[in-house]
Structure 1
Amino acid sequence: MSLDNILSITGKPGLYQLKSKARSGFVVESLIDKKTSIVGINHNVSVLKDISIYTYSEDVPLKEVFSKIADKEEKGPAISHKASKNELQDYFSQVLPEYDEDRVYASDIKKVIQWYNLLQSNDLLAALDEEE
């Protein structure tokens, strides 16, 4: 599996794995509770492969950020996404020191860490290595 099949859906918590496409939308499975649902085409859906993090020099693909977190944590879980804003920013600056602090908000960092922990707990981090 690759990040091509992992989706973030606006208004819904967590991440979803794309199961199939339908005329009216997508069939997805939640990585949190493994429930299958149908998402209409009117929902804002983002594929993780297409998401990048702003840095001062260039945009870094989310896959690379996940790989850096995995290296830092030796493929284990990262800190909780419920940590304080300052803890999250300190942690993220250790992982990606050149991130643009003006354009990457605490809520973005929180999402990235939550997504990493979801992928890690579902043993999907190996997908990052397979893509390379």
Structure 2
Amino acid sequence: MNLRGIVAVSGRPGLYRLVGQNKGGYVLESLDAQKVKIVTNITTTKLASLEDITVYGQDDDLKLVDVLANIKAAKSNVPDAKSDVNALKSFFKEVAPDHDDDKVYTSDMKKIITWYHILKDLPLFVEDAPAVIPDQEGIKGEDKVEKKPKATSKPSNAKAPSKTAQPAKKANMTSKKGV
């Protein structure tokens, strides 16, 4: 399952694909049939990547990707998000048996099931996530950026003129030592 680039936006329903970023914010495209593109403010918007979301577990946290894969395996009886609370809780015990009952609320279960219904028909739901191969330094291969030296016509020890420097005043000043 490839959830790379799929985000949930705080304060907005549904899921979005992260298309890009400009100086004003993130450019997002909704995953519903309307394919609405929006620009959200960088400073006020909180984005949560679906591949980074976890569900509280008894011992260790459960990855959302694993929970969605379990829901996909049990897709014959996936309830609607507006189903009875007891039906949601019993279904969630099947697909995420190690989840913490005290910390995972019914609203969280509804949100995950809603997300499943959005994602189940998309092609990225059936494709594998891209493999990340660490290089010798342990940095993700795709995140590593090679810095190329800048081509300059000046020698490296030459100072660039300061934009705030004021021109020297020509005055008849003599320096006197010992005064």
For 1:52, which of 51, 54, 60 is the aligned residue? 54
**The structure with more strand, counted as a fraction of residues:** 1
For 1:64, which of 63, 66, 69 is the aligned residue? 66
Q: 1:111 & 1:53 partners in 2: Cα distance?
A: 12
Alignment of 1:113-132 (within 5 A): 113-127=113-127, 129-131=128-130
1:37 partner letter: I
* Secondary structure in 2 matching 1:70: helix
Q: 1:131 & 1:117 partners in 2: Cα distance?
A: 23
**The structure with more helix, counted as a fraction of residues:** 1
Deviations 1:76-110 (A, max 9, x none): 78321111211111111111111100000000000
1:130 deviates by 3.4
Aligned length: 129
1:131 deviates by 4.2
**Cα RMSD for the two superposed structures:** 1.8
CA contact (8 A) 1:78 1:116 kept: no
The match for 1:38 is 39
1:46 partner letter: A
CA contact (8 A) 1:6 1:16 kept: yes
Cα distance change of structure 1 residues 18 and 77 upon mapping to structure 2, 3 Å threshold: farther
Q: TM-score, normalised by structure 1?
A: 0.89
The match for 2:12 is 12
Gaps of at least 5 residues in structure 1 are none
Cα distance change of structure 1 residues 77 and 49 upon mapping to structure 2, 3 Å threshold: farther
Q: 1:68 & 1:2 partners in 2: Cα distance?
A: 15
2:97 partner letter: P
Bigger Rg, structure 1 or 2? 2
Q: 2:115 & 2:84 partners in 1: Cα distance?
A: 17
Q: TM-score, normalised by structure 2?
A: 0.67
Gaps of at least 5 residues in structure 2 are 132-179
Cα distance change of structure 1 residues 77 and 43 upon mapping to structure 2, 3 Å threshold: farther
Segments ≥4 residues shifted beyond 6 Å: none
- Identity percentage over the alignment? 34
Q: 2:123 & 2:79 partners in 1: Cα distance?
A: 17
* Secondary structure in 1 matching 2:123: coil
Cα distance change of structure 1 residues 24 and 77 upon mapping to structure 2, 3 Å threshold: farther
CA contact (8 A) 2:2 2:125 kept: no
CA contact (8 A) 1:77 1:117 kept: no
